[in-house]
Structure formats: C-alpha cells, structure tokens
Chains A and B, each alone.
Chain A
C-alpha cells in the first residue's frame, strides 16, 4: 500500500507548475477573456514540447505512454492556473479513447499530431449540451445514437454559446455523418463512451482541486494583508473559520480524486463509484471554497478587476460539467442502494 505520488510524478508536476507560472499567469487568463479566439497557440506548443499534451498517448505515437495517475497532478496544476486550453478534452479524454478504441488507421492519422500539439481535439458525449474549444479543434470525437465518430473540425457547423467564464469557449456543434468517420459502434462504443465520461469527470475533478487550492491561497494572502480595525482581517475568528472550512472540504475531496485516478489506471471493478465520489466531492468542495473565497475578499472580490473571479467562474462551470455533484451523488446512491 502506498497512496501517494512518486518522486517522478511530483517532479513532472513541479515542471508543469513552473511552465504555467511563466506562460499562464493571471494576465494570460485575462487576455483569454478579452480575446475573440481566446486561445494562445504558443501556450499549447509549450505544453506539447514538455510532453504534457501527449502524456497519455502511446510512445509509438510520439506520446509518453503514461496513465491517469501521472496525469492527475498535471491537471491539478492546470486548474490552479485556470489554464485556458483544452487539456482535459485532448489529453485526458480523446487521446486515450482513440488509442484504445479507434481503428488502427484512424488512430494513426490523429495520435501523432495530437501528441505533438499540431492538432487539437475536443469531445461531445450524449447528454453534454455544449462542446468546448470546438472553434480551434481539428477533431471532434462525438457520440451519436450509441456510436462514436471522428469529425474533422472543418466539417462542424458551430453556434457559439457564452459561458459565465469568459475564458471558456462553448459551442453547439452540428455535423453530418457523411462528413465523419466511424470510431466504434455497439458494445465497443458503449464501453468507450462510459470510460471517456469517467475520464472526463476525474479530469474535471482534478482541475477543481487545483482551482480550490488556488482560491484558498489567494484568500489567505488577502486576509493576511488586508487590515481593518487596525489588524489583519485574517486574525478574526469568523474569517479563520471560513478558511478552515474551505481547507477541510479540499482536504477530504483530494484523496477521493486520487482514488478515482487509481481506479481508472488499474481498472478497479468499482470504477463508476470511485469516479462519482471524486467528482461529487470535488464539485462540492470547489463551490464551497469559491463562496468562502469571495466572502473573505469582500467587495474587491466582487469585481472583475480582481483576478479571483477567473477561478470562481471556472469552478462554477467545471462543477456542473461531466456530471454535477447531485448527478454523481445519485449514481453512488444507485450503486449502493439498488
């Protein structure tokens, strides 16, 4: 038994954190809010050059051949930085799906270019109303009527949908089957879809943990510096208890997310339950932390001039994506009680 990351995994995480500190400071997130396209190819190229984008792709396809446990700390850093890029869609969901379930020729077409960052992928499963980053996607992996299709980005008819998180880019996407290639159908597709959904949920949970940790750190910094009545507001017990509650929520969601990544990587039989526990707890934790962070920042946090709202809004969005806390809690209830 060792429920912890390896030194190598933590070094990779630190390298990711360093890269994002340079390439994705809050100014980059603000730029993404204000830019029409909102995506910086040089940032994606930097992530690809470090191996992050192709992390889950087989080595034969130019990837690192790593698993969901290796990816988890990387995604947490992406959340911490509020990274405006489709790492979840491309690296956590689409690349492993193509590697496992696509016909060889199709996988060979896409995996090398996705791994080296020259192509970008996104995903749309049934029940998910919006496709994120479809405007920059070279490939959409989409579920339709129980089958999975690969749709070239050029063949998508997109209608933008505006998210509360201005750095997110959401669309409704229409496409014709004649313009798409079949990845899988029947039971193979059903299994691939179920796994893709679980991977997306765990990846979102990992990002939510990073976002929550960042919001706590920002808030601690603020309440230590901010003085009222002649003392730091962080010396007031009411403020301390808000932050202690926030730390409590994250501290007991975090091991749930690790456990779900482990379940994915090792194919545990209770995978669905582990995944739902993780997403449920991470969503709840991020929402509580967001509220506490805003409350402790007071009025400055209620402006868009302050950076906090990048994380508030991303956490609201991700908490509701890939199944919100209620959906996952109901899935756990069904698995336990029925």
Chain B
C-alpha cells in the first residue's frame, strides 16, 4: 500500500493546476440553457486548444495519453479550481469509450477528434416514453433500406439531456422486431440536423431547458453510423451504461470539491454569529457529508488500483453509482439546512447566498438517483450480481 503519487504524476498535477487556475471561467451561467450552453462550448474549445479536454485519450485524437491515475488527478484539479460541469460529458465519457471499444478506424477518425474539439456535441438517446429503467423495452425502429445502403428510423426518444443544444445523438434502436427482447437492437449515431428529426426542449425540475424529446420520422442514416454491428446493440450499450454507472462519468473530484465548499459555507456562517443554534446543530451533518465524499474518493483509489492490474469493477459499479448519487443529494441537502429560510432563494435573487447555487445543485443532484438506471434497479443489480440472490 502506497498512497503517494509519483513525481511524474505530481508534475502533471502541477501543470494542470497552473493551467486551470489561469483559465477556468468563473460565474458561467447554467450550461443547460441556450445562451449558457454556447458559453460552455467556448470553454470546452479552450480546454481542447491546450489539450485538456480529453486528457486520457491518445494524442492522435486530441488527448495526452494520461493514465487512469492522471485522469483522476486532472479531475480533482479541475473541480478544485472551480471548473464547471462538462457539457461534453455524454460524448467524451459515454460515447467515446464505446467508440474506442467497438468503432471502426474510420469512425474513430471521424468522430473522436471532432468530439474532443467540441465541434460535434453529443446527447444520448436511451429512454423512450415506455422504456426507462426497462431499457430493453424500447420500440423506436430502424428499418433496413438496402437500396440506399442504410437505415430508416422512426420513433421517439425522451429525457434526452441537452438534446435541444446538441447536434448528434447516439442510442439504441430496434432493428429486428421479431428477435427476443435483448436481441435485435442496434447502436446508432444520428445527426440531429438530418431530415425528419424534430427536437422539442423540455423544462427540467430546475427550470432549465436541459431535457428534450427527440422525434424520428423516416430519418435516413447510412451504414457507417452503425456502432458495433447490426443487432449487437444491447452488448454495446451495456458497455456505455457501465461507464455511466461506474467510474468514468463521476470522478471523486467533483464531490470532494463540493464537500470542501460545504465546510467553507459552515465556517463562513459560523463566523457571522447569526443563527448559532442552527449552525452548531449541523456540525456533525457537515462532517458526515464531507466524510462521504472522502469515502468515495478512497473507494475510487481502491477500484483504480484494481483496474490498473486488470481487475474490472463488474457489477460493483452499481454500488458506485448508488453511492455517488446519494452522497451528492446529502451534501446539498445539508447545505440547504445550513441556509435555513434563505435556502429557497434562487439565482437572480438579491438575498440568495452564493447566488442560489446550493438550491440549483440540490435540484441537479436529485436527478442522480434517477438517471443511468434508477438506484432501485442498481440495488437489484447489487443483490443479484454482487451478492448472488436469485432473480426470481
């Protein structure tokens, strides 16, 4: 057991820290509005220009070939510096690992550099009106058009995060309606400006137009937009889903930075001397929330120690997903309890503390236990595939 990073890793940290401190934008509006999204894309382009947008990718695609450890270090520094959540995350963290694993050389060359550069902006099309947790219940269809050499898509996707702002969607479509539930699906990549695509923004709980419904009406795509082979979609999608549930989407850095801000908030409120009973009564709650972020960081270090030696997380990724999503809710809830009656004031209100950021973050955190497979589904996965309880 050795919890020190190497000199080279510490040098990487120093370089990242210096660049981030000089460049991270502060006070960006939410990336889940039209105006805000454009500003966030500018930030993503700046990250790319200095090769910080996809540090773990090979250099030929715009990355630095960073190790998993260096990726964790970068994430820690990114959020410590106050970097905003990545509006490119569905592409760089979910689609990209799938392209690296299943894509052709042509697909890698076509999509990865444009994704790293924030020129192509990707959203994911999993859920449908009748298929949420039960993803294998999707009905959207892609029918073969041999004459044209491609596929004709009809159907609807929903809860598509940032679908109203992106220009590409990836997702699962049924290509063999006669096959068994988990078969006969294909992983497709679809340009949202293709004829027949209609996108309707949907206002989320926090008031931003961060969701969208995407309608497909005889949308044609060519064969080269199939990822991982026809009728192989379930296996390909599961590879992406485990990225989302597991490590790659949620590095500890974001939660540790939020936990440090919570501690800072408590100290700040205690220093004012106002509402001493409330502030004092929440000392243990603040410590608990901070410790949960720390537990997540340490668990990640243990997981990555296994991964670099070839031990996959497997179904334990579901434990990870439950933990980060619930610690995020608890962190923000604790902050709201500290704020008391000012907690309800949101962005634009003169009396709001920290610009209403805690309520915003709380609302955002509430999506965590729902998306990427609800935590109820994850608990089933833990019980069945980690502990070995019978499915039926």
Minimum CB–CB distance from B69 to chain A (whole Å) comes to 6
Determine the interface band of chain B, counting residues with CB < 8 A from chain A.
35 or more
Asked whether, in the complex, the Cβ of A3 is within 8 Å of the Cβ of B298, the reply is yes
Asked whether, in the complex, the Cβ of B286 is within 8 Å of the Cβ of A337, the reply is yes
Which of B267, B284, B298, B306 has most A Cβ within 10 Å?
Answer: B298
Minimum CB–CB distance from A70 to chain B (whole Å) comes to 10
Chain A window 264-297, contacts with chain B (Cβ cutoff 8 Å), 1 for yes, 0 for no:
0110000000000100110000000000000000
Q: A241-B376, A251-B319, A258-B302 are in contact. Are A336 and B295 (CB under 8 A)?
A: no
Asked whether, in the complex, the Cβ of A1 is within 8 Å of the Cβ of B69, the reply is yes
Asked whether, in the complex, the Cβ of A255 is within 8 Å of the Cβ of B295, the reply is yes
A163 at the interface (CB under 8 A from B): no
Asked whether, in the complex, the Cβ of A4 is within 8 Å of the Cβ of B1, the reply is yes
Asked whether, in the complex, the Cβ of B298 is within 8 Å of the Cβ of A255, the reply is yes
B143 at the interface (CB under 8 A from A): no
Q: A235-B389, A329-B284 are in contact. Are A3 and B301 (CB under 8 A)?
A: yes
Q: Which of B89-97, B130-138, B378-386 contacts A (4 or more CB under 8 A)?
A: B378-386
Asked whether, in the complex, the Cβ of A258 is within 8 Å of the Cβ of B1, the reply is yes
**In the docked arrangement, what's the CA distance between A231 and B392, Å?**
8
Asked whether, in the complex, the Cβ of A245 is within 8 Å of the Cβ of B387, the reply is no
A212 at the interface (CB under 8 A from B): no
Residues of B contacting A: mostly = helix
Asked whether, in the complex, the Cβ of B1 is within 8 Å of the Cβ of A277, the reply is no
Q: A240-B389, A280-B291, A281-B295 are in contact. Are A336 and B1 (CB under 8 A)?
A: no
Determine the interface band of chain A, counting residues with CB < 8 A from chain B.
35 or more
Which of A220, A248, A326 has most B Cβ within 10 Å?
Answer: A248
Asked whether, in the complex, the Cβ of A337 is within 8 Å of the Cβ of B388, the reply is no
Which of A240, A256, A261, A326 has most B Cβ within 10 Å?
Answer: A240
Chain B window 278-310, contacts with chain A (Cβ cutoff 8 Å), 1 for yes, 0 for no:
000001101110111011101101101110010
Which chain A residue has the least Cβ–Cβ distance from B292?
A252
Minimum CB–CB distance from A277 to chain B (whole Å) comes to 5
B residues adjacent to A (C-beta < 8 A): 1-6, 9, 69, 263, 266-267, 270, 283-284, 286-288, 290-292, 294-296, 298-299, 301-302, 304-306, 309, 316, 319, 322-323, 376, 378-380, 382-384, 386-392
Given contacts A3-B301, A252-B319, A332-B287, 13 further A-B contacts (CB under 8 A): A1-B9, A3-B3, A4-B1, A4-B306, A220-B389, A239-B389, A240-B384, A241-B379, A241-B383, A251-B299, A251-B319, A256-B294, A277-B294
A residues adjacent to B (C-beta < 8 A): 1-6, 69, 216, 220, 223-224, 231-232, 234-235, 237, 239-241, 243-245, 247-248, 251-256, 258-259, 261-262, 265-266, 277, 280-281, 326, 329-330, 332-333, 336-337
13 contacts between A and B (CB under 8 A): A3-B302, A4-B1, A4-B302, A4-B306, A234-B389, A234-B390, A237-B380, A245-B379, A248-B382, A255-B298, A255-B301, A255-B302, A281-B291
